[in-house]
Amino acid sequence: MKPKLISILVANIFLVSPLAFAAEGGFKWSGEASLGLRAVDDKARDSSKLNEYRDLDSGPIGILDVRGRGDRYYVDGFGENFGRDDQYLDLRGGQYGVFKYRLYDNELRHNFGSGAGAISPYSGIGSSVLTATFPNANTSTWSTFDNSYKRRDIGGMFEFSGNSPFYIRADANQVTFKGVRVISSTQSSFNGIVDLPSPVDYKTQNFTLEGGYQAQHGHVSLSWLHSKFSNDNELLRWTNGFFNLFDTTPLPPSNELNRFAVNGHLSRLPLSSTLAGRVTYSKLTDDVSVLQTFLSNGVFAATNPNSPVFHGEVLYKTASLSWTAMPARQVDTRAYWYYSRKDNNSTQMEFTPAVGSGLLLGTTNPQANCANVAGANVCRPELFNYRKNNLGVEAGYRINRQNKVSAGFDYLDAERERIDFTENKDRKYTAEWKNSSLDSLTGRLKYQYLERRSTFHRSDPSNPIDAFVRRYDLANVDQNLVKLVLDVSPPVRFLDLGFEAIYKKNDYKDTILGRTEDERQEYYASVSYGDPKAFRVLLFGDIEFLKIDSRHRVGTGNPDPSAPPSGTPFSTTYNWDAKNKDKSWQVGLGADWLPIARLKLAGSLIYARTEGTVDFAALPSGGIAPVVSPITLLPIGNFDNTRRTALNLKGTYQYDRHWAFTGGYAYERYRFSDIGYDGFTYVVPNAVVPNPAANSYLSGQSAFQNYTANIFYVLATYKF
């Protein structure tokens, strides 16, 4: 069904439904409709940050919320932001116990860049062919474009049960993405980067059919999902300035997914227990033509694949089982098991390009990239597989009405195809105490300990430094986490206090090079006072500290971190460490005031700030303390620093039981500073091999995030 046709259908149902249900006796309508106007004055070189996930353009605004109830039928309709990029329509209804339905239209535009943040030396933007003449440092001749895509999810559901425990349900929806999104590519293995405005024209069509049996003591269902993803542009051709030829970048390929699932649960079993389970089987397939050539050294070198077509086939299998019980009035327990497996049965591709071609397959696995040596220049991309088993137990004991303690154990065993870590075993222990002994104080204290132990395999000898690197996502780690939550209601009427603290520390065991430690602290406090029917004020504050320590080695000399620095006349192979620190905090003040019965005033002021820094230090052989080094290592003081101020004022006057009038003002100010964007220039000279045609040509995305906005709005609401 075409998106435009579905939109017309949804709109017509909003209009026709009242007439259809009016014939039923006892059917009553209620709801409200709002219509207003919004005026926005913003100051920004690129307003995409202000409008990143919302449409704040000046113009009319509206909301419609309708509810209908009868003896046999019901209907609910809701709509907002009509005609805008973030429009939402939702219609639900049915006959009690017999059937129910839903139709919806959910839209959103994701803005990445506009104005100064979306220019390009390429023409043909929006198509699959981008052309440009290089060098071109004159940005006044560049093309402007809308760096955004529109996401639209339209669909519906119908379920029929016919006043019986059996039911059948069908869901269908279509999700489209249309627009432009910038991707990046290098022009050769050592030359500049270019921003490529690539076309986005994706469509995903989903259909689900489910049937089941629902009773008081249990439920069982069987479902099938078919999902088809299609992309009208699977290849992007663009001018490569270094070689002055067309290069090619693959875009997401079309694919299909089929998934079967069985769900069920049984309740009111012995020990007041419930047993629930789920099994799924999914198959993802695609067929992609393999590129026969790639641009290298100024010519189109042959990739020499072992198959002209890549046949993708990935199987996903999952199973889960959980059992909850209350063997005694004071005791509750839970045991669970989750299993998941991924089998990649896709074509095992092999490429044998000419020696020295420099073919890389986008992986950290050196065995997958060509060695560029006669007789050993075979590239074999990885086929990723995994298997995971996760089981655990939890138990809680209520000592009395005011105190409850609980504990749990979680075990994960995972195996995967990976160059460094092939298996990990995680053991997680938790303990928690909840207390409400005092009328004015309730609290919760939780402790968690995680121990991960992974099986490490030395990497390929062609990359000897990998033998010392432990990537933190699967490195051995000991984690300690403590969480405290307090809610205080002092004897003072209408006074509430809240406090929350979280401390987490990861100690990465056996890590020589990589992340060695990270620590996170979070604190939140709030105080509110006042009668909600008269005047109430809220003050809150939140602060978070993050510290990451890591150790690295640079240079082409001896990769062993215990070896002394080497290289002449200055050391070019040595150890160094980094300390990343992030601090983010915000404070807010909000108030609600009812000066008279028909007038309600509300306001809020929030200030948020993030500060990031990185400190570097050169290290001696096997050491951890900074030493005198001829290499200057400068700290970074602006590693994603932001400041945001938001003021909101709103007043609503209830004229009578039908009409209400609202007026408001909002002020937003956002400032961004980062070493990667401060002093931004669209063209960056290439320092490796001087060649103006191979400079970096950037679009300005994310470079001009600062904005200041003043927003005024009025709204009239009619309730019926």
Nearest to 445 by CA among 431, 456, 462, 429: 431
Give pLDDT, residue 365.
Answer: 59
Give pLDDT, residue 626.
Answer: 45
Nearest to 314 by CA among 336, 345, 291: 345
Give pLDDT, residue 625.
Answer: 46
Give pLDDT, residue 3.
Answer: 42
Contacts of 249 (CB under 8 A, 6+ apart): 183, 185, 196, 198, 235, 236, 238
- Average pLDDT over every residue of 566-583: 87
- Average pLDDT over every residue of 373-387: 79
Instruction: Please provide the DSSP assignment of 241-285 as one string.
Output: TTTTEEEEEE-PPPEEEEEEEEEEEEEEEGGGEEEEEEEEEEEEE
Contacts of 20 (CB under 8 A, 6+ apart): none
Q: What tokens appear for 378 in the block? A: 């075979």
Nearest to 321 by CA among 276, 269, 271: 276
Beta bridge pairs of residue 430? 408, 448
The span from the CA of 94 to the CA of 98, in Å, is: 8
Res. 7: pLDDT tops 60: no
Residue 279: Cβ within 10 Å count: 15
Which has the higher per-residue pLDDT, 533 or 631?
Answer: 533
Strands 129-130 and 235-240: parallel
- CA angle 115-116-118, nearest 5°? 70
Give me the numbers of helices (H) and strands (E) for the chain, helices first please. Answer: 1, 35
Res. 21 pLDDT band, cuts 50 70 90: low
Beta bridge pairs of residue 266? 218, 275
Give pLDDT, residue 491.
Answer: 86
Place of tokens 């709030």: 526
Residue type, 445: L
Give pLDDT, residue 273.
Answer: 96
Nearest to 646 by CA among 709, 706, 601: 709
Lowest model confidence (mean pLDDT) among 154-168, 358-372, 394-408: 358-372
- CA angle 344-346-348, nearest 5°? 110
The span from the CA of 7 to the CA of 471, in Å, is: 48
Instruction: Sheet containing 245-250: give its strands across.
Output: 129-130, 235-240, 245-250
Res. 709: pLDDT tops 50: yes
Strand (E) or helix (H) holding 14: helix 3-22
Give pLDDT, residue 426.
Answer: 98
- Average pLDDT over every residue of 588-613: 97
- Average pLDDT over every residue of 450-459: 89
Give pLDDT, residue 593.
Answer: 97
Give pLDDT, residue 687.
Answer: 67
The span from the CA of 469 to the CA of 482, in Å, is: 29
Q: What tokens appear for 293 in the block? A: 């050539």
Note the pLDDT tens digit of each residue in 212-269: 999 999 999 999 999 999 999 999 999 998 888 999 999 999 999 999 999 999 999 9
Give pLDDT, residue 373.
Answer: 60
Give pLDDT, residue 624.
Answer: 45
Give pLDDT, residue 111.
Answer: 98
Contacts of 355 (CB under 8 A, 6+ apart): 372, 373, 374, 377
Give pLDDT, residue 618.
Answer: 84
Res. 465: pLDDT tops 90: no
Give pLDDT, residue 73.
Answer: 96
**What long-range pairs does 253-256 form, CB within 8 A, spacing at least 24?**
253/286, 253/288, 253/312, 254/228, 254/229, 254/230, 254/286, 255/228, 255/229, 255/284, 255/285, 255/286, 255/312, 256/226, 256/227, 256/228, 256/229, 256/284, 256/285, 256/286
Q: Is 493 exposed, middle or buried (0-12, 13-18, 19+ CB in 10 A)?
A: exposed
Place of tokens 């933190």: 472
Contacts of 159 (CB under 8 A, 6+ apart): 94, 99, 100, 101, 167, 168, 169, 170
Give pLDDT, residue 307.
Answer: 94
Res. 636: pLDDT tops 80: yes
- Average pLDDT over every residue of 142-171: 97
Yes or no: say if 16 and 22 are a contact pair by the CB < 8 Å rule: no
Give pLDDT, residue 464.
Answer: 84
- Average pLDDT over every residue of 197-208: 98
Res. 2 pLDDT band, cuts 50 70 90: very low
State CA 597 to chain mean position distance: 44
Q: Is 198 exposed, middle or buried (0-12, 13-18, 19+ CB in 10 A)?
A: buried
- Tell me the percentage of the chain whose pLDDT exceeds 70: 90
Lowest model confidence (mean pLDDT) among 7-11, 241-245, 473-477: 7-11
For 483, the 3-state DSSP assignment is strand
Lowest model confidence (mean pLDDT) among 15-29, 137-151, 300-314, 316-330: 15-29
Give pLDDT, residue 371.
Answer: 61
Lowest model confidence (mean pLDDT) among 389-403, 532-546, 613-627: 613-627
Yes or no: say if 168 and 210 are a contact pair by the CB < 8 Å rule: yes
Res. 1 pLDDT band, cuts 50 70 90: very low
For 135, the 3-state DSSP assignment is coil
Kindly list the domain boundaries of the chain, sorted by start residue. 253-384, 405-597
Strand (E) or helix (H) holding 634: none
The span from the CA of 124 to the CA of 132, in Å, is: 9
Note the pLDDT tens digit of each residue in 641-678: 999 999 999 999 999 999 999 999 999 999 999 999 99
Instruction: Please provide the DSSP assignment of 442-466 as one string.
Output: EEEEEEEEEEEEEEE----TTSGGG
Question: Where do the DSSP E strands lie in 99-242?
Answer: 99-113, 119-120, 129-130, 143-144, 147-160, 166-186, 193-215, 218-231, 235-240
The span from the CA of 543 to the CA of 501, in Å, is: 10
- Tell me the percentage of the chain whose pLDDT exceeds 90: 77
- Average pLDDT over every residue of 270-277: 96
The span from the CA of 193 to the CA of 197, in Å, is: 13
Note the pLDDT tens digit of each residue in 44-89: 999 999 999 999 999 999 999 999 999 999 999 999 999 999 999 9
Average pLDDT taken over every residue of the chain = 91
- Average pLDDT over every residue of 92-114: 97
For 317, the 3-state DSSP assignment is strand
Question: Where do the DSSP E strands lie in 439-532?
Answer: 441-456, 477-488, 495-508, 514-531
Residues found in the chain: 720
Res. 16: pLDDT tops 70: no
- Average pLDDT over every residue of 377-386: 85
